[in-house]
């Protein structure tokens, strides 16, 4: 094998595998962010229907976890992401289900309860959400209050 063949082989390998690697990383980060939102909401609500905000939880979490990329703002977005897209619970990896994650315990936020309910026919399936949109794209949709418009 000469050097040029080696270079071309490495380039072809990179070109064919890089996109699927990026999609896989994005999918897992999106699920992670949704789960972080779930954990925050569950902690805040402590089994109650409504959360009691204001305890500087996100600031304390940011400092205590010390994870790069988990800022106070991103933690807030994760919480909102979880509340906006409850259907993601349907596609959680098996290890999370084995650890006792109970998707039936998912509560709808009080804001979401006030909105006009969206038909299941119009609800974007979770696998399509996280396989076709990056978390960054999903965050761009969060400010849209009308679920029909957000789905469109």
pLDDT at position 51, please? 56
pLDDT at position 152, please? 75
The encoded tokens of residue 119 equal 């038909």
pLDDT at position 82, please? 93
Give the predicted TM-score (pTM) of the model. 0.74
**Cα-Cα-Cα-Cα dihedral of 104, 125, 26, 80, to 10°?**
-60
**Cα-Cα-Cα-Cα dihedral of 52, 55, 57, 60, to 10°?**
-170
How are the residues of the chain apportioned to helix, strand and coil, as percentages rounded to the nearest 5? Answer: 70, 0, 30
Answer yes or no: are the C-beta atoms of 112 and 84 closer than 8 Å.
yes
Task: Indicate the length of the chain as a whole number.
Answer: 152
Q: Mean pLDDT, 10 residues at a time, over the chain (152 residues)?
A: 92 95 92 93 73 73 90 93 90 67 50 45 78 88 86 77
The encoded tokens of residue 58 equal 């996100």
Domain with 147 in it: 3-151
Report the alpha-carbon distance of residue 97 to residue 71 in Å, rounded: 27
Domains contained in the chain, number: 1
Report the alpha-carbon distance of residue 30 to residue 51 in Å, rounded: 23
Answer yes or no: are the C-beta atoms of 72 and 57 closer than 8 Å.
no
- Report which of 35, 56, 32 is spatially closest to residue 105, judged by C-alpha positions: 35
Neighbours of 100 (CB within 10 A): 6
Answer yes or no: are the C-beta atoms of 41 and 51 closer than 8 Å.
yes
pLDDT at position 120, please? 56
């Amino acid at each position: 094998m000469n050097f040029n063949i080696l270079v071309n082989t490495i380039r072809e390998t990179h070109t064919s595998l890089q996109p699927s690697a990026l999609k896989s990383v994005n999918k897992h980060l999106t699920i992670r962010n949704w789960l972080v939102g779930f954990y925050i909401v569950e902690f805040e609500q402590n089994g109650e229907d409504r959360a009691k905000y204001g305890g500087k939880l996100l600031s304390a979490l940011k400092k205590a976890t010390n994870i790069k990329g988990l800022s106070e703002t991103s933690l807030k977005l994760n919480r909102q992401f979880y509340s906006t897209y409850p259907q993601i619970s349907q596609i959680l990896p098996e290890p999370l289900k084995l650890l006792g994650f109970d998707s039936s315990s998912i509560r709808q936020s009080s804001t979401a309860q006030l909105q006009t309910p969206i038909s299941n026919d119009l609800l974007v399936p979770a696998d399509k959400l996280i396989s076709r949109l990056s978390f960054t794209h999903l965050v761009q949709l969060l400010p849209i209050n009308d679920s029909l418009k957000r789905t469109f």
